[in-house]
């Protein structure tokens, strides 16, 4: 099950390094949330490898049908959030993160389930390559999951709202999958907001979610506890709320100590 890095791009080698480091924080008996996306694929594979090698007993709640298929196919035990209740840890990727560890997620269209699972977890670890680190959120388009009924009215209301916020851009685009609109696992549509820079992410998140027809936005604020950034050479940096807590860290000192340092 071990992956060969010879054919991986530098970005994928970085993602793999972060993913493999993240599963060091998994403990026997944990209930885990499994993220969605290209970086999460590396994490699920690394987790399955560790569980099989060490005979660990973990229960996994996937954040998408794609992750469920991958994890189930690798032999991980799956359950639902309703069945397990509170989760110990969620590990997921991101499209952007800033110095506060606030995120934009939803490039894979799973941000609704990802946010539900993350907020039901005691801790959230995010895994990323260096390109995902930004000074201010907004370069990556902000996804909005919206219901299909009246979606063009919803889009117009969103566009009107953006004019009142501190943003560099205000373009609202329906996400497409070929010739048809892209759909989430809930069957909803996605509007991508091309904003350039978000001046006040908290005000924008609150305002967007008050528009009828908007199900959820891709701003993950005050949810992430730690970001593990991988590098193509296999090094990782661990970012807490007050900066890098373990430059070049490549060993496990214990989940409790590292989370304590991240919160300090």
Q: What are phi and psi of 208, to 5 degrees?
A: -60, -40
In this prediction, residue 252 carries a pLDDT of 42
Alpha carbon distance 53, 252 (integer Å)? 17
Catalytic residue among 96, 114, 145, 216: 114
Alpha carbon distance 136, 197 (integer Å)? 7
Q: Is 31 annotated as a binding residue?
A: no
In this prediction, residue 1 carries a pLDDT of 41
In the chain, what is the straight-line distance between the N-terminal and C-terminal CA atoms, in Å?
A: 37
In this prediction, residue 241 carries a pLDDT of 79
In this prediction, residue 262 carries a pLDDT of 47
Residue 114 appears among annotated catalytic residues: yes
pLDDT tens per residue across all 264 residues of the chain: 445 677 899 999 999 999 999 999 999 999 999 999 999 999 999 999 999 999 999 999 999 999 999 999 999 999 999 999 999 999 999 999 999 999 999 999 999 999 999 999 999 999 999 999 999 999 999 999 999 999 999 999 999 999 999 999 999 999 999 999 999 999 999 999 999 999 999 999 999 999 999 999 999 999 999 999 999 999 999 999 778 876 665 444 445 555 554 454
Cβ atoms of 61 and 32 closer than 8 Å: yes
Q: Is 132 annotated as a binding residue?
A: yes
Q: Is 90 annotated as a binding residue?
A: no
Three-state SS string over 110-129 comes to CHHHHHHHHHCEEEEEEEEC
From residue 134, alpha-carbon distances to 86, 97, 128 in Å are: 31, 6, 12
Q: Is 38 annotated as a binding residue?
A: yes
Cβ atoms of 33 and 87 closer than 8 Å: yes
Selected from 3.30.420.40, 3.40.50.620, 3.30.70.260, 3.90.1010.10, the CATH number assigned to the domain covering 142-216 reads 3.30.70.260
Q: Is 107 annotated as a binding residue?
A: yes
Taking Cα atoms as reference points, which of 102, 127, 108, 107 lies closest to residue 40?
Answer: 127
Residue 149: Cβ-neighbour burial (10 angstroms; 0-12, 13-18, 19+):
exposed
In this prediction, residue 253 carries a pLDDT of 46
In this prediction, residue 254 carries a pLDDT of 47
Alpha carbon distance 107, 112 (integer Å)? 12
Q: Is 79 annotated as a binding residue?
A: no
Taking Cα atoms as reference points, which of 52, 53, 54, 78 lies closest to residue 65?
Answer: 78
Q: Is 39 annotated as a binding residue?
A: yes
Q: Is 105 annotated as a binding residue?
A: yes
In this prediction, residue 111 carries a pLDDT of 98
In this prediction, residue 260 carries a pLDDT of 52
3-state SS, residue 138: coil
Domain boundaries, the chain: 10-134+222-263, 142-216
CATH number of the structural domain 10-134+222-263: 3.40.50.1360
Cβ atoms of 128 and 154 closer than 8 Å: no
């Amino acid at each position: 099950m071990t992956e060969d890095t010879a054919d991986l791009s530098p970005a994928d080698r970085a993602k793999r390094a972060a993913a493999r480091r993240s599963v060091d924080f998994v403990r026997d008996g944990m209930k885990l949330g499994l993220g969605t996306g290209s970086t999460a694929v590396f994490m699920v594979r690394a987790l399955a490898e560790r569980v099989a090698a060490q005979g660990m007993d973990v229960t996994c709640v996937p954040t998408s049908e794609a992750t469920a298929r991958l994890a189930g196919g690798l032999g991980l035990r799956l359950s639902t959030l309703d069945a397990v209740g509170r989760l110990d840890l969620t590990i997921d990727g991101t499209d952007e993160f800033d110095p506060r560890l606030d995120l934009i997620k939803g490039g894979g269209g799973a941000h609704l389930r990802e946010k539900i699972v993350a907020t039901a977890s005691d801790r959230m670890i995010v895994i990323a390559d260096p390109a995902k680190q930004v000074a201010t959120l907004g370069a990556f388009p902000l996804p909005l999951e919206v219901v299909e009924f009246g979606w063009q009215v919803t889009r117009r209301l969103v566009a009107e709202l953006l004019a009142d916020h501190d943003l560099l851009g205000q373009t609202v685009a329906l996400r497409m999958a070929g010739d048809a609109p892209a759909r989430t696992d809930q069957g909803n549509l996605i509007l991508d907001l091309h904003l350039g820079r978000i001046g006040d992410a908290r005000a924008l998140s609150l305002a967007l979610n008050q528009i009828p027809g908007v199900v959820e936005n891709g701003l993950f604020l005050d949810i992430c506890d730690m970001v593990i950034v991988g590098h193509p050479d296999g090094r990782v940096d661990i970012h807490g709320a007050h900066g890098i807590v373990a430059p070049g860290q490549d060993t496990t000192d214990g989940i409790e100590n590292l989370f304590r340092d991240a919160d300090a």
